[in-house]
Structure 1
Amino acid sequence: MGARQKSRTVLLTGASGGLGNAIARLLAERGDRLLLQGRNVDRLEQLRRSLTDPERHRVLAADLLDSGGRRQLMQMCREEAGLDVLINNAGISRFALLGDLADRELADILHTNLLVPMTLTRDLLPLLEQSPEGAVINIGSAFGHIGHPGFTAYSASKAGLFAFTEALRRECADSGVRVHYLAPRAVDTELNTPAVRALNRALRNKSDTPAVVARQCADLLHRPSGQRRFIGWPERLFIKINALFPSLVDSALSKKLPVIRRYAKQGDLSGEVL
């Protein structure tokens, strides 16, 4: 457990996806107890058995898009001895032009990436407030700060998640609960379809391994106050330029539209396991 004397109990959503898997492994190695949320019980159990001290961890199978599933998850968390950390990691993406997105796809992306973290956090705050190490980490994206063609719904959902995190951090300033926001650039996980991988190669977009992002996530848990953190260079620079001089980014991305449109026609729905 390193220098820490007390293990934390961590609820991790989307645990069986690529990034969730990496976060779970790292936190388990550091002595934390994981509540692993997802829909695929077999994948969750496989992950649990592979973790350090597997008997300490618990699988919480629930569909986050279903209100009944979320209520079941809430009840499971209340039955635990306590909850110290909520990591809102579950998410889905759709690489497609806006005109090719169906109503259901738009709703699922916004619901999964924004409304589910909001409702889970709201319902679990009373438990987190009872912990001296209470914390929330919302996993955002660089695309929440640089609206990118082909990712309109995903960009909107992550921009909303950032605003929610910022407002909640200020709302919880006197509660003791630390509220963090972590925005990776592209992460090499199953969230990326073959079309997204081809686009990244064509545009020479860089990506990070899940392990790199997991280390940043774990580091936030040691911070005494809520943080917002962006991963990747030059993406961090582009985010600042986009905030100050958006027309420059408009011009740069407009030149890439033919490539983006070509690969967007090959896109399909993918995501971390919920």
Structure 2
Amino acid sequence: MSAPIAVLTGASGGIGRHIAKQLAARNYRLLLLGRDLKALETLQNELPSQEQSFHIALQVDLASDADLDRVIELVNDIGRVDLLVNNAGVNTMVPFTSLSKEQLDATLDVNVRAPMLLVQGLLPLLERNNGIIVNVGSSFGAIGYPLQAQYCASKFALRGFSEALARELSDSSVQVKYFAPRATQTAINTDKVNELNKVLGNTMDSPEYVAQQFIQLLDSTERRRSVGTKESFFAKLNALWPNLVDNALAKQLATIKQTMR
């Protein structure tokens, strides 16, 4: 029996690298997608494989329609996909009034539009193989946070897309899951963001731990999983009594703005 095939976006990042290692250990053949070709090729060589060129590294810009089409065409040429992990994400923590149009476009293109188009393009093959889609969101997909307006908008959208699609495909062979890490120790965070998390006492997980949580979701019958008890409680509180969260974050606002200045 041939190895199952997983398509993983954002494979060159911290969480992506460790998800790739977890999946390769489970004998998945990986199509590693990212912007940093050198990092992708390094990861490709580190992964256990059954034969030469078992895993594929492909440099792509997920904001480019041509690159998305290239990925879909390659996977269709392979003729199989069992797992699609939409893990890639971009973020810039700035006041909304300072956000450039280019930053806004990049956030929405990579965090929302690309996952939707990849799902749409690969869905026939996923249906053929009883496939699984995992969209990697964020705790900020359930909580609006100061200086994160565009990022929260993108992750709220990804969560809504995942929920709607899971319900739409509930009579099919495809599973749709949503995975929401909290703050994680990766390069997406600037020094100022790391300092802010430290000042506020926010827990930051290792990417290894986040990848383990991802695998637990993948192995379960759950449709969604959030990392962090405190963050999960805060999200539920935000859904039920948002005024309480408004007040809690208002007390942090001066610290947030000062630290991120």
Asked if TM exceeds 0.5, the reply is yes
How does the TM-score come out when normalised to structure 1? 0.91
Q: Displacement, 1:107? A: 1.2
Q: Displacement, 1:219? A: 2.3
Q: Give ranges in structure 1 of 5+ residues lacking alignment.
A: 266-274
**Amino acid of the structure 1 residue aligned with 2:136:** I
Pair 1:29 & 2:29 matched: no
**Amino acid of the structure 2 residue aligned with 1:91:** G
Q: Displacement, 1:175? A: 1.5
Determine the structure 1 residue equivalent to 2:230. 234
Q: Displacement, 1:81? A: 4.0
CA contact 2:134–2:177 (8 Å) conserved in 1: yes
CA distance in 2, matches of 1:6, 1:242: 45
Q: Displacement, 1:7? A: 3.5
CA RMSD of aligned residues (A): 1.3
Count of aligned pairs: 259
Q: Percent identity?
A: 42
How does the TM-score come out when normalised to structure 2? 0.96
Determine the structure 2 residue equivalent to 1:268. none
Q: Identify which of structures 1 and 2 has the higher relative contact order when contacts are C-alpha pairs closer than 8 Å and 6+ apart.
A: 1
Pair 1:217 & 2:248 matched: no
The more displaced of 212-221 and 58-67 is: 212-221
Q: Equivalent residues in 2 for 1:234-253 (5 A)?
A: 234-253=230-249
Pair 1:154 & 2:156 matched: no
Determine the structure 1 residue equivalent to 2:62. 64
Q: Displacement, 1:6? A: 6.8
Q: Identify the structure with the greater helix proportion.
A: 2
Partner-residue secondary structure (3-state), 1:208:
coil
**Amino acid of the structure 2 residue aligned with 1:213:** V
CA distance in 2, matches of 1:233, 1:241: 12
Partner-residue secondary structure (3-state), 2:229:
coil
Q: Equivalent residues in 2 for 1:1-274 (5 A)?
A: 7-53=3-49, 55=52, 56-132=54-130, 134-224=131-221, 227-265=223-261
**Amino acid of the structure 2 residue aligned with 1:231:** V
Partner-residue secondary structure (3-state), 2:73:
helix
CA contact 1:97–1:264 (8 Å) conserved in 2: no
CA contact 2:79–2:125 (8 Å) conserved in 1: no
Partner-residue secondary structure (3-state), 1:34:
strand
Cα deviation, 1:229-267, whole Å, max 9, x if unaligned, reads: 1110211110111110101110010011111112222xx
Runs of 4+ deviating beyond 6 Å: none
CA contact 2:143–2:238 (8 Å) conserved in 1: yes
